[in-house]
Amino acid sequence: MRDFRPTKRALRLCQWLTAAAILGFPVMARAQDEAGGPPPDTTGTLPASGYANTIAGEFTPARGFDIIKTNRGSLNISVYGLFRSLTQFPANQTYTDHLGRERTVATRNDINWHRTFAWFTGFFYDPRFRYNISLWSLGTTEQTLLFGNLQYRANRYVGFGVGVAPNLTNRSLQGSWPFWAGSDRQMVEEALRGGFASGFWVTGDPASRFSYTASINRSLSQLGIKSSQDNRDYSYSASVKWMPTTGEFGPRGGLGDLEHHERLATQFGASACTAKEGRYAPLGTPPNAAQIKLSDGVNPFDLGALADTVTVTTLTYSAMSIDAGFKYRGFSFQSEYTYRQLSNFIATGPIPNQTIIDQGFFVQGMHMVVPKYLGVYATYGSIKDDFKRYPYEISGGTSYYPFGNRSWRLNLHLIYVKDCPASSSFGYYTAGQTGTTISIGTDILL
């Protein structure tokens, strides 16, 4: 297989775009001053009786706009939107999976209104009893869903929730979206993480600067899986977080120090999950389960994924992650290590692998080169896998915040990936790609 490198044309385009963003900053900033200054930052999470509503991951609204408030209830509306162009090079390529079979890489060249969220949130009778109705739409795949969750916070030590929520496999699933360097997750997380499903969880802050969450979910991911196709097994996960120095890590705990911490802010955490997963589809038909991918990007429930003519019907997914980050005077750093094991395979025939272990690690740093307005970042991530493919990525880019806050962002994101293990229409990645990806996008959160 050829070892593709970024093309000179692609690199030249990136250089021009970065230069345009930097040179355009003074003009846009001056225009803001003439117009009377930027609008207020509306992106902080709406508190529930003083407790941040962050467990819901992607389903956590921003501060939004209050429509009504009474003694019996309230209604707030918050919205998110992303428009993005994404191009992958080279356009035509193939790769060899772990069984030596040649597969075609389905490279993308998209321009889309990519993602929409609308949240309708508030309290009902008691300010500690909160609801969240979420409207989610992905233009890339023409999917639209309406769902929600309910939360009751008894006190600082314990709160309860039911509804659609994350499996607690990685830190990025626990409230930080969309305050990332780019508009989607990095390769390691996207390849090894769990997803979102209906469940019940308990959360609280039992000690100063320390919090916990434990969750029981219907499955590792319920997207595309009807209740009638589900099995009788659940997913179990838990996570802890410690912020020893300042007791906070910025809005949502996301990347980027727009807030310019004068004191060192630190965050450390650990997460773990186990789930018995099935195909959620009859033999002889494609699997509905799509969350888990092998390190070559193949769905383990596909026919012949682990042995020719053999289909895996169930397996056990187990994962553990530890993460650490800091922010200080415009600099921010985030790292995470993930250990994932697939085991207890039940299949229609013999398979050579009874246990498959993947270990992923990534580091990401960002610097606000123009405080509050322009940040530059870089990422490295790799996976040590049993198939000895050793995929990795080197990525980076720049984010420009025209209003000097997180409400509106312009982003240029560049990736070089080798033997990509992740595959999703949601994110940046296509299974098997070796080459360059260029993403240019703009998003708002209100």
For the chain, which residues make up each domain, given as ranges?
Answer: 8-46+85-110+186-192+208-445
- pLDDT tops 70 at residue 120: yes
- The string of pLDDT tens digits covering residues 157-215 is 999 999 999 999 999 999 899 999 999 999 999 999 999 999 999 999 999 999 999 99
CB under 8 Å to 69, separation ≥6 — which residues? Answer: none
CA dihedral 260, 378, 84, 361 (to 10 degrees): -110
Separation CA 374–CA 402 (nearest Å): 9
Dihedral of CA atoms 439, 442, 443, 444 in degrees, nearest 10, equals 170
Distance, in Å, from the CA atom of 307 to the CA atom of 311, rounded to the nearest integer, reads 8
Q: What percent of the chain has pLDDT over 90?
A: 79
At residue 371, the pLDDT reads: 96
Q: What is the mean pLDDT of residues 332-359?
A: 97
CA gap 185, 180 in Å, rounded: 8
- pLDDT > 70? residue 27: no
| Residue found by looking up tokens 């993930």 in the block | 338
- The SS3 assignment for 216 reads strand
In the chain, what percentage of residues exceed pLDDT 70?
87
pLDDT, average across residues 313-337: 98
CATH code at 8-46+85-110+186-192+208-445: 2.40.160
The arithmetic mean of pLDDT across residues 109-117, rounded, is: 94
Distance CA 70, CA 350 (A): 63
Residues 6+ away with beta carbon under 8 Å from 49: 127, 128, 153
CA-CA distance, 379 to 184, in Å (whole number)? 13
Whether pLDDT at 389 is above 80: yes
Rounded Cα distance between 291 and 293, Å, is 7
Whether residue 20 is predicted with pLDDT greater than 60 in this model: the reply is: no
How high is the pLDDT of residue 34? 40
* ∠ CA 63-246-406, rounded to 5°: 30
Q: Output the pLDDT for position 10.
A: 46
What pLDDT does 223 receive?
87
pLDDT of residue 25: 39
**What's the pLDDT score for residue 14?**
47
Q: How far is CA 210 from CA 39, 88, 203, in A?
A: 33, 41, 11
Report pLDDT for 22. 39
Check residue 424 and give its pLDDT.
83
H-run or E-run covering 149: strand 143-155
What is the model's pLDDT at position 45? 53
The model's confidence at residue 8, banded by pLDDT at 50, 70 and 90, is low
pLDDT in tens, 221-270: 998 898 889 889 999 999 999 999 999 999 989 999 999 999 999 999 99
- In the predicted model, what is the mean pLDDT of the chain? 89
pLDDT of residue 141: 81
**Which residue's structure tokens are 């309406």?**
146
What does the pLDDT average to over 415-422?
97
